Amino acid sequence: MSPISILTTDAVASACVAVLAIIVLWDGYWLTKQRTDVPILGELPNESFSWSSEGVHELARQWGNLLSMAAMMVLPWALLSVSDTPVGYAIAWDVLLGLHFISLLIPKRYAITPTHLFADGQRYEWGRLKLAKRQPRSRIMLLRKGWGPFAPLPLGGEYHDLEKAKHRIERFTQSETFSQEE
């Protein structure tokens, strides 16, 4: 094996692990913002409402992402011998994905105001979101406009909180649609 192929393998593996580390840190940052963005839970002024989820709700909300992450944790191990990649990169990859996996299961806080949805540390204007036509039972499924099926935004929580939230979302997204048409 030539030194160039090892250097290339190391460079690619380093870049992959570095990009994953940035993603995990970035998502971790947004996760820490949720308490400042949604400090109070329950009924709020101006028809606003906030609620939180539990780990089981996040499991129902993120099941697809969790399965994808599990596959991404296994895949490098199958490719190690073929690519001559050092095992340390696969371990680092799995540790980072494990941290991200755990962060997806941490209970989240959500809030709905007449103008915005607060979810995952982000703030979304209603004009950028729409309710999916088919709604799952255990969560609310929103779609980011212009992304089609590639950017679903599921919201988790207790059934009664989701029902309150869904009625407000319907009202706020309809009023947003009407205000854009004027």
The CA distance from 66 to 83, in Å, is 26
- In sign, the C-alpha dihedral spanning 9, 97, 110, 182 is positive
Which residue(s) pair with 143 in the sheet?
A: 130, 152
pLDDT by residue (tens digit) across 62-93? Answer: 888 899 999 999 988 988 888 888 899 999 99
For the chain, give the percent of residues with pLDDT over 70: 92
Q: At what angle do helices 3-37 and 87-105 cross, to 10 degrees?
A: 10
pTM summary value: 0.79
- DSSP annotation of 121: T
pLDDT by residue (tens digit) across 111-165? Answer: 999 999 999 888 999 999 999 888 888 889 999 988 877 788 899 999 999 999 9
Helix (H) or strand (E) holding 7: helix 3-37
Would you tell me which CATH number, out of the four given (1.10.10, 1.20.1440, 2.30.29, 2.40.50), belongs to the domain 39-53+109-182? 2.30.29
Q: At what angle do helices 87-105 and 55-83 cross, to 10 degrees?
A: 170
Q: Is 33 helix (H, G, I), strand (E, B) or coil?
A: helix
